[in-house]
Amino acid sequence: MTIQENETAMGPKDLGIVEKNAMVEVAEVKDLNLKTADLAMEVAFQSYGMEIDEATNRKILRKIDLYVCSLMCIVYAVQYLDKVTNSFASIMGLRTDLNITGSQYSWIGSVFYIAYLVFEFPASYSLQRFPIAKTVGAFVIAWGFVLCMTALPTNYGGFLTTRIFLGMLESAVTPAFVLLTSQWYKSEEQFTRTSFWVGCNGLGSIIGSLTAYGLAKRQEAGTLPISGWRLLFVIVGVVTIALGIIFILVIPDVPAKAWFLTEEEKLLVVERIRSNKQGFGNRKFKMDQVKEAFTDVRLYLNFLVMVLIDIPNGGMTNFQSKFCLYFKHFKTKSEKKKD
């Protein structure tokens, strides 16, 4: 119904009363939300009603992809690399130097994921309670430090302890990236961007394989100052620490504070995701949302999918290098038999 039609039906005086009441309600909601609701509610009120043309939308999206998505991809690749360093180290002298048996090595792989699972709950809570970008950066720096310290143990117990702490600290990155993706992208853009940073697991494996191969060759030549597997942990750990620092400096805690956006673009980036109807985050724990999540069948379907994916994934992460080594030996024996 148009304003003219409203005036005809209600009269100009009634319309004025409705408009006045609406303004009061908006003011009350604004005051309430600024105290207890979304982290960017004030900006959301400022951007309300702004329209984004297609050219401006593409420009903002390119900036977000360049600074946010690309860095998430790199960090996720390095996270996977940090996981598989254990596998590379196992064929570079780790088990021999620390006198690790087969069952003990299996436990080294298991405790990482047990710690990851248990600490996922406090890690996720900390992401909600504290500024997300700084929290993620702190976790990345901490696990990079632990990875460097993994080069120090001289026995099974010491190495096992470092893997427990590594699993605890790495548990924050995946839920954090899910939150960041939902903050920055419209719902129809989130699947593609999530595929990008999850797919970088493969990039991490490639980089790790090349690094381990180079160190193994140098170790065979006797040109390394310390054992190749120890140096591998130090190198990857230092890279991880550097990425954590970069993450804190580059990624803002909320899109409305992005240093790489103009003042107008900060408002428009808020307006872009208004259709998501989820906001930028909230530091209040809401039990009604927990109940709503547990009554959604999609939660259980997603849980089932993740279990089916991650059970074989854990084995492959921990034993993939040994699988490749055994395959190489098997292939060599087969070729000798043919000769």
Contact between 57 and 272 (Cβ < 8 Å)? yes
Q: Give residue 212's pLDDT.
A: 87
Percent above pLDDT 70 for the chain: 73
Contact between 50 and 151 (Cβ < 8 Å)? no
Instruction: Pick the most confident of 49-53, 68-72, 199-203.
Output: 68-72
Tokens 């303004």, residue located: 23
* Residue-averaged pLDDT of the chain: 79
Q: Give residue 30's pLDDT.
A: 46
Q: Give residue 268's pLDDT.
A: 82
Say yes or no to pLDDT of 177 above 90.
yes
Q: Give residue 205's pLDDT.
A: 85
HSE of 124, CA atoms in CB hemisphere, 13 A: 11
Q: Give residue 334's pLDDT.
A: 54
Contact between 83 and 170 (Cβ < 8 Å)? yes
Rounded CA gap, 268 and 50, in Å?
7
What would you measure as the largest C-alpha separation in the chain, in angstroms? 101
pLDDT tier for residue 41 given thresholds of 50, 70 and 90: low
CB atoms within 10 A of CB 328: 10
Contact between 132 and 253 (Cβ < 8 Å)? yes
Asked whether the whole model's pTM tops 0.85, one would answer no
Say yes or no to pLDDT of 10 above 90.
no
Contact between 283 and 128 (Cβ < 8 Å)? yes
CATH architecture of 53-285: Up-down Bundle (1.20)
Contact between 276 and 187 (Cβ < 8 Å)? yes
HSE of 38, CA atoms in CB hemisphere, 13 A: 18
Q: Give residue 139's pLDDT.
A: 95
Q: Give residue 98's pLDDT.
A: 92
